[in-house]
Amino acid sequence: MSIYIAIDIGGTQMRAAAFPIEGYDPIRVQKIPTHSPNASPQERLILLIKSVCPENETINSIGVAAPGPMNPKTGVIYTAPNIAEFRDFALTDYLENEFQVPAFLDNDANLAALGEWLIGAGKGHDHLLYFTISTGIGSGIIVDGKLLHGESGIAAELGHVTVLPDGPICGCGHPGHLEALASGKNIARWVKKELAKGVESTLRNAKKVTAKRIAKAAKKGDPLAIMAFERAGEHIGLALASFLHAFNPSIVVFGGGVSLSGDLLLEPIRRSVKNHVMNSKFTDNLVITTAALGDDAGMIGALILARTAIEQ
């Protein structure tokens, strides 16, 4: 028997799984912290893969989901947030050299989109937008049943479109990007600012004001917390209307930690997008929903990448 290896690399932990030729039930799964005083993330990645690879098994190929700008065609990571060692790192060359099997790389949001499209919430849709709303906002785009990579593989950065030209500064340094208005970190930032202004809220007693904590307060009726999700949903909906005009998808899938708040975020998005589309044909048959694969989306996508890339 032979297997596929799928890997999901994050700034704090790396996960790997061995999968059989068919199906989506892993044979072995393992996760380890990305950083350790004794070994580089590169070395730890090799150990991690070896730990999930059963003896006497042949690896067919390796698929890797990683964050940050990269070139999926060349397998080079330009920069990875919180992994300084991965700057301009030829990851697939490194793995191919070590394991002597083909290795493939793509952006984690792209691969999550691929996973949701093939076996998740987006099954059966040829035109899909996927957003992961967590600390930042990542995205993946399926056009005509294929991931949109663009000329050099850096397309689909929908978290970095300008929504409010005079809005708050984004992590990337530019004003008013969607991420700066509606990511988990920025929802929390806005609430903290309102609290500092003296706005009344049960969140005043919270140890730490996070998007998760705010969602909890909103579900209990806290007006400031509700307002925070309304505001994020309004901005996402405004941007989404523009994305619908550009891509005319049949489904929009929201994943990532903040999307676990469900209708608290989705309802304001649906209202906002209806207000902002130029023509109801863009929303008539549109599905706006939450992701089905949860934290596994990136790894499932990496598996699909590993399987399909060697078939081509």
* Residues of the shown chain interacting with its own copies in the complex, contacts defined by CB under 8 A: 69, 78, 125-127, 141, 143-144, 146, 148-158, 160-165, 170, 172-174, 177, 238-239, 241-243, 245-250, 276, 278-279, 281-282, 285
Residue 143 CB, shortest distance to its own copies, in Å, is: 5
Q: How far is the CB of 240 from its own copies (least distance, A)?
A: 11
User: Can you read off the two tokens belonging to residue 307?
Assistant: 């399987």
Within 13 Å, how many C-alpha atoms sit on residue 114's CB side?
A: 26
**Cβ distance to its own copies smaller for residue 79 or 202:** 79
Cα distance between residue 100 and residue 293, in whole Å: 31
Cβ nearer to its own copies, comparing 21 with 246 = 246
32 versus 154: smaller Cβ distance to its own copies: 154
CB neighbour class for 150 (10 Å; exposed up to 12, middle 13-18, buried from 19): exposed
Smallest distance from its own copies to CB 66, Å: 16
CB of 223 to its own copies, least distance (A): 24
| Count of beta carbons in the 10 Å neighbourhood of residue 158 | 24
User: Closer to its own copies at the Cβ: 44 or 149?
Assistant: 149
Q: How far apart are CA 308 and CA 288, in angstroms?
A: 28
d(CA 22, CA 101): 19
178 versus 215: smaller Cβ distance to its own copies: 178
CA neighbor of 74 nearest in space, from 133, 152, 147, 127: 152
Nearest distance from C-beta of residue 288 to its own copies, angstroms: 14
Q: Pick between residue 26 and residue 67 the one whose CB is nearest to its own copies.
A: 67
Give the nearest distance from C-beta 63 to its own copies in angstroms: 20
Distant-in-sequence, close-in-space partners of 23: CB < 8 Å, separation ≥ 6: none
